Amino acid sequence: MNNNNKTILVIGGTGMLGKPVAQQLKADGFNVRLLVRNPEKARKLLGDGYEFIQGDVDNESSLNTALSGVDGVHISLKGGPTEADFERMDHFAVRDIARIAKEQNVERVTLISAYAVSEEKADTPESRSKVRGEAALKSSGVPYTIFRCSWFMETLPLFVQGKSISLIGNQTHLLHWIAVEDYARMVSKSYQTDETLNKELYIFGPEAYTMGEAMNIYAAHVGVKVSPISTTMLSVMGTLTFNTEWKSMATLMRHYEKWGEDGSPEEANRLLGAPRVTLSKWMDGRFS
């Protein structure tokens, strides 16, 4: 397949999980377009060789412009921390993008999701909005691929404050931690085969650790200590300080206290190549 003739729009392409996808698509020979609020800032972040369309997912006109003439759309949006914001980004934006993609005969839409997204597990504002967004994508009629990802290694530094890393809640489930490098490669590969169309693919890394185990490994590597905190305490602190981010995080981590991984990565690994980056390899690359 000649990727040089294909243009992929990345929505959310300046974020932690979207930027590596845009870079990998470009490295694999695709023409990459990004919908961004600030093209100058995005160009400084990503460099030359990308097409930047100024706009926002809330604006249908800018969506129509961004989707015009593209072969595929990758959605990498992050909602929250309020319920209305989750609904706006994880449901309404996905719905509108899918509808316009169908109207413009876009060949496929890919969407990052999480392993614990289903009607059965929709017990938080975020998970409910993701369920609705996925349903809207599937019912739109546009060919799709949904990536049900486990926890990303790149999230570990986000739990660090000062000299400690916060282990929030009683996280007992084994998780196959995935490096964004592997994920980006798999997303790009999905645009090079029709076998991934209309599928939900589970993206799991090569090793399984509980969150506490992963944090202990990371903490030893970077010289911080693991500090446990209950979801109840974090929620109370969020309420007392009017910190919606803390309250939202407490809700999220209660969700993951309850739900572990399900599904199998076998099909994704067969179609896209199994992830190779281990936690130790990721840390060596990050801090070398």
Burial class, 193, CB count within 10 angstroms (exposed 0-12 / middle 13-18 / buried 19+): exposed
Length of the chain (residues): 288
Position 53 in a domain? yes
Residue 42 within any structural domain of the chain: yes
Position 175 confidence tier, pLDDT thresholds 50, 70, 90: very high
Q: What's the CATH number where 69 sits?
A: 3.40.50.720
Q: What is the pLDDT of residue 3?
A: 75
Reading the block at residue 242, the tokens are: 């009017």
Residue 160 lies in a domain: no
Domain span including residue 85:
3-152+178-204+261-275
Mean pLDDT, the chain, whole residue set: 96
Give the model confidence (pLDDT) of 29-53 as tens digits.
999 999 999 999 999 999 999 999 9
pLDDT over threshold 80, residue 287: no
Q: Which of 117, 142, 264, 158 is nearest to 202 (CA)?
A: 264
* 256 DSSP assignment: H
The answer to whether position 236 is within a domain reads no
Q: Is residue 168 part of a domain?
A: no
13 lies in some domain: yes
Question: What is the pLDDT, as a whole number, of residue 288?
Answer: 61
Looking at residue 285, what is its pLDDT?
Answer: 86
| 145 found inside a domain | yes
What are the angstrom distances between the C-alpha of 166 and each of 86, 149, 208, 252, 261? 24, 22, 20, 14, 21
Residue 224 belongs to some domain of the structure: no
Q: What global pTM score does this model have?
A: 0.95
Number of domains in the chain: 1
